[in-house]
Amino acid sequence: MKLVLDTGVIMLILKGDKKIKTLIKDISYGTEAYTTTINLTELYYKTEQKLGKETAVTWLNRIIHLKDLAIVPVDTELAIKAGKLKAKYRNKISLADAIVAALAEKTKAKLATTDKALNNIEEIEVLTYS
């Protein structure tokens, strides 16, 4: 199984939220986990806004060097896939939603998210944690 982790889910991991215990277990037992560079952007700016630069840098350094999380940059293929989703769902999804969903579609992964807007996308299977 493969999982794409959205920003909110990575935050729930740091928080130690009980809702995602099973997801963590699945990853420890070999489920492949992915996220995108856009999710790192969200994670960084929101952490710096709320908790300062030092915390943001520390968290990001730990996340980007994780052994079992693949961080996927937005290349042209992903960009176009995301563009197609954004065109189809227009004002129902944001650019970040479109990009993370495009990665789930491309890798045939389930998308783990806290963002209910992603339930609108019929091309992918969404696991919502809210």
Partner 1 sequence: MLNLNIYKVKVHKKGLIVLPARLRKKYKVKEGSEIVLLDDNGQIILIPRYRIVDLYGIAREHAETIDEMIKEIEEERKNEAST
**Interface positions with partner 1 (CB under 8 A):** 7-8, 11-16, 24, 27-28, 33, 42, 46-47, 50-51, 59, 61-63, 65-69, 91-97, 114-117
Q: State the nearest-atom distance from the C-beta of 12 to partner 1, in Å.
A: 7
Nearer to partner 1, 63 or 104 (CB): 63
For residue 77, what are the CA distances in angstroms to 7, 69, 115, 126? 21, 21, 24, 21
Nearer to partner 1, 50 or 75 (CB): 50
Q: State the nearest-atom distance from the C-beta of 24 to partner 1, in Å.
A: 5
Nearer to partner 1, 42 or 74 (CB): 42
Q: State the nearest-atom distance from the C-beta of 80 to partner 1, in Å.
A: 19
